[in-house]
Amino acid sequence: MDAEAGRVTGTVKWFSRVKGYGFIAPDDATKEIFVHFSGIEGEGYRNLEEGQRVSYVVEDTPKGPQAASVRMVSTPEDQPAA
C-alpha cells in the first residue's frame, strides 16, 4: 500500500472503452477490483489500457469495492516484456 492516503497499486486487467468499465489486478494479489471510467482522474475522455500500471483508493459501494481516484503510474509500453 502506498503511503499517500491509503493508495494501492495494481495493473489494469482489462477495460472496455465501449462499456466504460473494467478490472484492476492489485499488486498484493487480492481479488480484482472493479473500475468505472468516472473513477479515473483527469479531464475529458478517461480510459485505461490493459497492462497499464495504476494507483487508486478503494471505496466500498453497495455493489462491492470499487477503485476511485485512479491515477496512471505507467503505460503498457513502459512495462518490460515478459
Provide the whole-model pTM: 0.81
Segment 8-34, tens digit of pLDDT: 999 999 999 999 999 999 999 889 999
Confidence of residue 5 (pLDDT cuts 50, 70, 90): low
Q: CA 57 to CA 18: how far, in whole Å?
A: 24
Mention every residue, 6+ apart, whose C-beta is less than 8 A from residue 49. 12, 15, 75, 76
Ordered structural domains, the chain, with CATH = 8-77 (2.40.50.140)
